[in-house]
Structure 1
């Protein structure tokens, strides 16, 4: 019973596959009442040797973590979306002296570690800012890396990223193609 209450008390995360102008994964963490979001072009990896570019995007409302469907043409982010993974996470922030640092503060400082309890992703991950948007050569774009820790749950010796075209939703079991077909009213 203690585990269940721990799970409901932990903040949520979601990874959505988004077949927009460019196929990418949206990695979202619940922080201070919103979903902090990063576009991860090649998707999260469970292999610690894979360092995945993560580009911050706008915050999303918490309800968006369950969104699966088609965003109509002409709207921002138009394209098909599935929930590839979902679950909760536990912040692992510390100040180097044994004290705890609030997760939002860790993100603000440019490095946050957390433990994912997902249907597909498990274990320790880190988000580390590698470029601030206000740096002269940044072009106004901030960049982060999403990296799996070398823990007992890490994948080694094979790619740790999903194939977005064959991936199935953690919520409904459907593929991107099936969600798009359903939105068009196709039978398949």
Structure 2
């Protein structure tokens, strides 16, 4: 399955993390650059799914920051894990490599708020 992180200059500069799930790109807006430091947590706001073709889309406001493949590490599959509010996955990208986790937080009472973190390895 593919993933892409797009640098997006909208109202504010942010990163769009997109993971291929069931034929679409499940997507989160991440206000700060994804970190490889397991101590650093990043807010990730879930946004609407995008079509797979969006993985290669670039324009004056959006560029591909990283891309590659990923493996879902949460059983039984990524779609079920997202619905349950916790997805653990391994990225194989140019900039981002290793195991990451997305966890729904309900911060501020909003179910669209998740936390993205690099998982520490022993």
Fold shared, TM-score > 0.5 on shorter chain:
yes
Distance 2:52 2:121 in 1: 29
CA-to-aligned-CA distance 1:40-83 (integer Å, 9 cap, x gap)? 0012110001000000111110000001113xxxxxxxxx1110
Matched ranges for 1:108-123 at <5 A: 108-123=83-98
- Bigger radius of gyration among the two: 1
In structure 2, the residue matched to 1:87 is: 68
In structure 1, the residue matched to 2:31 is: 41
TM-score, normalised via structure 2 length: 0.95
In structure 1, the residue matched to 2:46 is: 56
In structure 2, the residue matched to 1:161 is: none
Q: Which runs of 5 or more residues in structure 1 are unaligned?
A: 1-10, 71-79, 94-99, 153-188
In structure 2, the residue matched to 1:29 is: 19
Distance 2:111 2:77 in 1: 25
TM-score, normalised via structure 1 length: 0.62
Q: Higher strand share goes to which structure?
A: 2
Aligned residues: 122
Task: Quote the RMSD (CA, aligned, Å).
Answer: 1.4
In structure 2, the residue matched to 1:142 is: 112
2:120 aligns to what SS in structure 1? coil
Tell me which stretches of 4 or more aligned residues in structure 1 moved more than 2 Å: none
